[in-house]
Amino acid sequence: MSEDDRPIPRKVSQADDLAPEGVYPPTEEMLSEPVPADLQKAQADRLRKAWVAPTGIRYVTAVNNSEVGVWYSMTAFAFMLIAGVMALIIRLQLAFPENDLISADRFNQLFTMHGSAMMFLFAVPIFEAIAILILPGFLSARDLPFPRLSAYGYWCFLIGGISVIGSVFVDAGPTAGWFMYPPLATQDEGIGSDIWLLGLSFIEVASIAAAVELIVGTLKCRPPGMRVNIMPLYAWYVLVVGGMILFAFPPLIAGDFLFELERSFDWPFFDPTRGGDPLLWQHLFWIFGHPEVYIVFLPSIAIAAMVVPTVAQRPIVGYSWIVLSAVGTGFLSFGLWVHHMFTTGLPSISLGFFSAASEAVVIPTGIQLFAFLATLMVGRVRVNLPMLWIAGGLAIFTAGGLTGVMLAMAPFDFQAHDSYFVVAHLHYTLFGGMVFPVIAGVYYFFPFARKKLLSERLGRIAFWLIFVGFNVTFLPMHWVGLLGMPRRIYTFPGGLGWDTVNLMSTIASFLIAAGFAVFAWDVIRPKTRQPQIPRNPWGGGTLEWTHDVPEELWGTRSIPYVTSRYPLWDDPKLLERLDSGRYYLPDAETVRRETMVTSVIDAKPLLIQKVTGPSWLPLLAAVFTGGAFIFPTFHVYPPAIASGAVALAIIILWLWRETSWPPEHEMRDAGLGLRLPNYAAGPNSVGWWAMWITMLGDATAFASVVFAFFYYWTSSADFPPVAMPDPDRALVGLAVVGLLLAWAATVSAAWLNARARVTAARAALIVAPVAAAGGAAALVLSVIGLSPSTHVYPAVMCALAIWVVVHAGVGIVMQLYCLAASVAGKMTPRHDADIQNVTLYWHFHLIAVLVTCAVMGLAPGVMR
Amino acid sequence: MRGFRHTVTLAGGLVGSGLMSGCTGQQSALIPRGEDAAVQSTLFFVMLVGAVVLWLMLNGLFFYLTRVRPGAVPQRLANGMIIIGGLVVPAVLIGALLAWGLSILPDQQRSGDGLTIRVTGEQWWWRVEYWPEGAEAPIVSANEIRMPVGERVEFALGAKRVIHSFWIPALGGKMDMFPGRDTRVSLKATEPGVYRGQCAEFCGASHAWMAFAAEAMPPADFAAWLDHEASAAVAPSTPDAVAGAEIFAREGCGACHTVRGTDHIGQVGPDLTHVGARHTLGAGRLGATLEDFAAWISHTDELKPEVEMPAYGHLPEEEHRLLAAYLKGLQ
């Protein structure tokens, strides 16, 4: 390569010389200039062609948020209905003392799956589903930045969900409760617990994928001018909840990883007879489990935050207070998990601290509720059907919140814990804080997604059935709980004062079911003869109501320049300009799907982002990823490994074909006199942000495994055990050297490539995987002599080694990918997004390597 | 199953056994019969009143705003309401509640006045050992707690295989029981009576049937009872009981059960030395009549799903009767 001979290497990556050109922000004069009618029509035709949805069997290859969002929502609701039917069977069994409608084993499967499905297959996915469906509308983005990732996440959710919930129908469901406490769950025979662990890990991975998508979408795909302080509250909540998912799910994934190692290979992480500790699981589970409650609750509050201003016809009061409270709730929620463990014999000082921390959550929650009340106070209230559901939700949620205040008092919790009082409390918070607002959201956003209204009459019938049924079912449970009825019992003796209450709950539970049946019918009933809605049927002020009626799949005809929180209320000319294509990206010159990427804080236009279109690859990748998770359930590993390899190959193919190719034109006209680049690398690109955010979650999972090591150290006097062999220190040292070298070679490759020293960069990309493989091999050899099934100490060492080796493997694949990209001309000195992302991965991996090797090589000596 | 069920004392044993005065309250946290439960009950009722008042105020305000519809209020007033309603009022109330609630935290981790009872959760029964102050060996019992009124008794808790939780609502809060980890709780009964305790941590198929009777006795009665509990089993005194003892030996019951003073020294199942004197059978599953004994022996697995003790339904009914006579005689 001749470039190599150049005397002074100079960075030539495109960020330096390709920046947006032209006028920004647009002047009023530019905005008021009309667009010629024939141009409008030509642009609209091209856009329509670019965004056309596949038809027939190829419909399943759709990746557009408007399709995937609807599938996702409907699937989550279907799982909710199935889990609801399970609850009805549970109630029937508990209608009478010593009833024998179903066996204890069947009952345990049902209550385990009811909780697991409601949480993992409904409450969290429905947030992601609704957000995927409506967030781009709020932001006037044409789509989210990674539509195929959404589709992949959806198919993973569908496959994983069916395999988990289906287990109950073949009488092989998990029976140890949705919390899966060991040793009960580790000793459990049969495949139930494996289905839970692997199936839900699979879905958790999909959840994290969706979180990454939504966070990047919120940060980078806002319309020009929508600074963070004027973005819709919904977007703020998506950001907060996405961040929480990123830090809450990884501890559970780490826990699942250890748990499945124990179940499959008998590594005793939670077995007290071999140095393990069942309480570690409880910590990991509730570090996930408590934020989970707010992960479920905040998105529903977000819906209320969009409905309330529309109902009041006034901007929300206390915007900043709400944002601060949402962020505050997010942070606080990570400091409360111990209140699920008040009865595990912790010292009083912990009880006091976590009591106080739990009570503190009242304040941000209270601020959010009062901000809604304040908004209603200053407005002219028009109660509509969505508002009725919000009102019902408020009545129920405040009751649940107040019993939460009671439960957070440790002395009272000693009585109420694991009794029906808690069953009542959690259903009050989840129905009031989640189910009712979500249904309000369905009524409110149904016309957005389907351009038809749901029935006012059916909506009111469903509301009163569910509202009355709910209260009659669950209010008495507080009472029966304090009469001493524990949770999770498949039957109970008569004569303890529990009989009448349980019968009443059972009868009323069928009112709830009837209400949901009415609601479900309203959603699915044919509406062909019903007229389409007028645009913006509720009179909302935010951008989602600019979408066209009848529906156009392009999302927004042109991407507006936004200067206020409620553009539809504040800018009377917005709609007309938007429709005529006066704003940004009014055209699809290349007839490809595109949206605009803006800067994180100020939403200044940065580039035109190509958006991927329909493809079989996400579906196929999900099928094979499913295989990699589902085969191990039955302890058959070769097909699992093969399946995983195929999934990886498909994902590589998908990335290779569609991402980060040098564009045909470096700069293109974006409308309103602005020219934008068509390619970005590093922090300007969405891919770099996605990598950053993913690795943050990955690092959290890794930190949880390291936490396990230190937890054993603090909870056991004899850890690390004196007589146990340690990992071979020399080999651990060698692993550090190898992996450090791999990191250095990767960083050098990026540096050299950006300075047009392509040959040297390729050489570095050959050295890097070799060094990484050598380092990983050394790490494997360092623990090869340990017997992880004898004690938790060698087990945790081996688990750490596995973690690093697997990540090194992924890192090697990435390095080779960059090498291939360089050779194929996909990656050039100017267009180096791939290597920049890979470098970021290796930065994170280096930290994991150093921590792991310190723990394996140094800690045993220091700690003994 | 329905057939034989009518012949035995139904459900949870002591419910029907007539030992209780107010039957429906024997597992109630709201009819406290212990020092800790009384404090918790007070705390609950105070919080309940507060919660009802706050709920009515908040929802009343919401109803007023959305239905009664006053004219719109100025923005400043609304901003003030966020701060007062969302920040100031909750902070004050929560602060007060914490100050009071945590100060009366009934320190159930406090040590006892002398007697320690070690309880180990098994699948699905309770191994019980009485350790009076200074004792070198425990007095072993099972599936029942007896304790003196007016004395703080310390419970040392553990579990064999999975996590359980020890809970006597009428006396106080619960405490989890872990394999490989000791937890402690202390309780002080204030009134004599028989209460019902139950496992509160999900522990598998028969979690619902892991209960026990807890009897608080006047101290003198308790001392007498404990002396008797420490003694060896009485010899069978009726012809039926003698015949039952032979069947007990023939069927190998002693491989799992101990009857002190005999050759039966099994450690797997509950100690049966004084099983005839207990309030319940099968860890609160049945009462303790002769019929209950016969039903338990013949239908163990139906009464308690996945229980480890095999059912002896294959024995002739007559032998169930004789075994019951022997066991009921172990007073």
Q: Is the dihedral of CA A479, A483, A487, A491 positive or negative?
A: negative
Same domain (yes/no): B92, B120: no
Query: Using 50, 70 and 90 to split pLDDT, how confident is the model at B190?
Result: very high
Please give the Cα distance from B15 to B213 (Å, whole number): 10
Going edge to edge, which strands form the sheet with A21-22?
A: A21-22, A674-677, A667-671
Distances (CA, A) of A159 to A111, A153, A334, A620, A680: 22, 10, 30, 11, 34
Please give the Cα distance from A101 to A93 (Å, whole number): 6
Please give the Cα distance from A493 to B12 (Å, whole number): 6
Taking the CA of residue A312 and the nearest CA in chain B, the distance in Å comes to 9
Question: Taking the CA of residue A412 as centre, how many other CA atoms within 13 Å lie in the half-sphere pointing to its CB?
Answer: 26
Q: Is B282 on the interface with A (CB under 8 A)?
A: no
Please give the Cα distance from A194 to A213 (Å, whole number): 28
> Is the residue at A582 inside a domain?
no
Boundary-marking domain end, from B204, B230, B256: B230
Residue contact B91–A318, C-beta within 8 A: no
Q: Which of A189, A372, A373, A429 to mutate to test binding with chain B, by most B CBs within 10 Å of its CB?
A: A373
> Is the residue at B32 inside a domain?
no
> Is the residue at A438 inside a domain?
yes
- Is 50 exceeded by the pLDDT of residue B10? no
Residue contact A411–B175, C-beta within 8 A: no
The answer to whether A68 and A154 are in contact (CB under 8 A) is yes
pLDDT number for residue B106: 62
Phi–psi pair at B178, nearest 5 degrees:
-115, 145
Same domain (yes/no): B121, B56: no
pLDDT number for residue B103: 84
Where helices occur in A117-269 by DSSP H, the ranges are 124-138, 147-169, 184-187, 192-220, 233-265
> Is the residue at A160 inside a domain?
yes
Please give the Cα distance from B31 to A752 (Å, whole number): 78
Boundary-marking domain end, from A508, A524, A540: A524
A477-516 burial: b if 16+ Cβ within 10 Å, else e: bbbbbbbbbbbbbbbbbbbbbbbebbebbbebbebbbebb
Q: Which of A35-49, A762-776, B72-86, B248-262 has the lowest mean pLDDT?
A: B72-86
Q: Is A315 on the interface with B (CB under 8 A)?
A: no
Among A343, A376, A495, select the one facing B165 at the smallest CB separation.
A343
Please give the Cα distance from A706 to A851 (Å, whole number): 8
B189-204 burial: b if 16+ Cβ within 10 Å, else e: bbeebbbbbbbbbbbb
A260-279 burial: b if 16+ Cβ within 10 Å, else e: bbbbeeebbbbbbebbbbbb
The answer to whether A200 and A218 are in contact (CB under 8 A) is no
- The encoded tokens of residue B258 equal 């101990």
Q: Is B112 on the interface with A (CB under 8 A)?
A: no
**Nearest chain B residue to A355, by CA:** B98
Predicted TM-score (pTM) of this structure: 0.95
Residue contact B106–A360, C-beta within 8 A: no
- Is 90 exceeded by the pLDDT of residue B22? no
Among A104, A377, A403, select the one facing B206 at the smallest CB separation.
A104
Residue numbers of A between 367 and 396 with CB closer than 8 Å to B: 367-371, 373-381, 383, 387, 391, 394-395
Distances (CA, A) of A289 to A281, A341, A440, B222: 11, 12, 25, 45
Size of interface A-B (CB pairs under 8 A): 285
Residue contact B27–A496, C-beta within 8 A: yes
Q: Average pLDDT over chain B, rounded to whole? A: 91
Same domain (yes/no): B120, B212: yes
Among A108, A367, A483, select the one facing B28 at the smallest CB separation.
A483
Boundary-marking domain end, from B200, B230, B260: B230
> Is the residue at A474 inside a domain?
yes
CATH number at residue A846: 1.20.120.80
> Is the residue at B266 inside a domain?
yes
Please give the Cα distance from A85 to A83 (Å, whole number): 5
Taking the CA of residue A218 and the nearest CA in chain B, the distance in Å comes to 27
Same domain (yes/no): B123, B209: yes
Residue B147 forms beta bridges with which residues? B216
Residue contact B86–A279, C-beta within 8 A: no
> Is the residue at B98 inside a domain?
yes
Q: Which residues of B touch A414 (CB under 8 A)?
A: 36, 40, 106, 108, 172-175
Q: Is B110 on the interface with A (CB under 8 A)?
A: no
Please give the Cα distance from A134 to A388 (Å, whole number): 21
CATH number at residue A202: 1.20.210.10
Boundary-marking domain end, from A495, A524, A553: A524
Domain assignment of residue A749, given as a range:
703-863
pLDDT number for residue A664: 86
CATH number at residue B164: 2.60.40.420
> Is the residue at B247 inside a domain?
yes
Boundary-marking domain end, from B187, B206, B230: B230
> Is the residue at A578 inside a domain?
no
Q: Is B57 on the interface with A (CB under 8 A)?
A: no
Q: Which residues does chain A have with pLDDT short of 50?
A: 1-8
Exposed, middle or buried by CB within 10 Å (0-12, 13-18, 19+), for A352?
middle
- The encoded tokens of residue A357 equal 């921390």
> Is the residue at A266 inside a domain?
yes
Residue contact B86–A495, C-beta within 8 A: no
The answer to whether B200 and A486 are in contact (CB under 8 A) is yes
Among B11, B78, B183, select the one facing A494 at the smallest CB separation.
B11
pLDDT number for residue A3: 43
Number of domains in chain A: 2
Q: Is B310 on the interface with A (CB under 8 A)?
A: no
Structure confidence by residue, pLDDT tens digits, B173-188: 999 999 999 999 999 9
Q: Which residues of A touch B101 (CB under 8 A)?
A: 355, 409-412
- The letter for the amino acid at A246 is L
Q: Which of B23, B43, B94, B160 to mutate to test binding with chain A, by most A CBs within 10 Å of its CB?
A: B94
Please give the Cα distance from A704 to B26 (Å, whole number): 44
> Is the residue at A29 inside a domain?
no
Q: Which residues of A touch B54 (CB under 8 A)?
A: 398, 402
Q: Is B198 on the interface with A (CB under 8 A)?
A: yes
Residue contact B183–A345, C-beta within 8 A: yes
Exposed, middle or buried by CB within 10 Å (0-12, 13-18, 19+), for B134?
exposed
The answer to whether A247 and A695 are in contact (CB under 8 A) is no
Taking the CA of residue A327 and the nearest CA in chain B, the distance in Å comes to 15
> Is the residue at B29 inside a domain?
no
> Is the residue at B319 inside a domain?
yes
pLDDT number for residue B12: 44
Same domain (yes/no): B268, B202: no
Q: Average pLDDT over chain A, rounded to whole? A: 94
- The encoded tokens of residue A515 equal 């209400």
> Is the residue at B27 inside a domain?
no
Domain assignment of residue B282, given as a range:
2-21+232-328
Q: Is B167 on the interface with A (CB under 8 A)?
A: yes
Name every residue whose Cβ is closer than 8 Å to that of residue A322 and which is 6 or more positions away in sequence. A233, A236, A305, A316, A367, A368, A371
Please give the Cα distance from A609 to A659 (Å, whole number): 10
Please give the Cα distance from A24 to A8 (Å, whole number): 36
Nearest partner of A304 among A231, A398, A234, A404, judged by Cα: A234
Q: Is A482 on the interface with B (CB under 8 A)?
A: yes
The answer to whether A680 and A833 are in contact (CB under 8 A) is yes
pLDDT number for residue B17: 44
The answer to whether A831 and A14 are in contact (CB under 8 A) is yes
Same domain (yes/no): B158, B225: yes
> Is the residue at B30 inside a domain?
no
Number of domains in chain B: 3
Same domain (yes/no): B162, B191: yes
Boundary-marking domain end, from A524, A542, A566: A524
Residue numbers of A between 75 and 114 with CB closer than 8 Å to B: 97-98, 100, 103-105, 108
Q: Which residues of A touch B39 (CB under 8 A)?
A: 411
Among A187, A371, A414, select the one facing B108 at the smallest CB separation.
A414
Same domain (yes/no): B121, B226: yes
- Is 70 exceeded by the pLDDT of residue B5? no
Taking the CA of residue A485 and the nearest CA in chain B, the distance in Å comes to 8
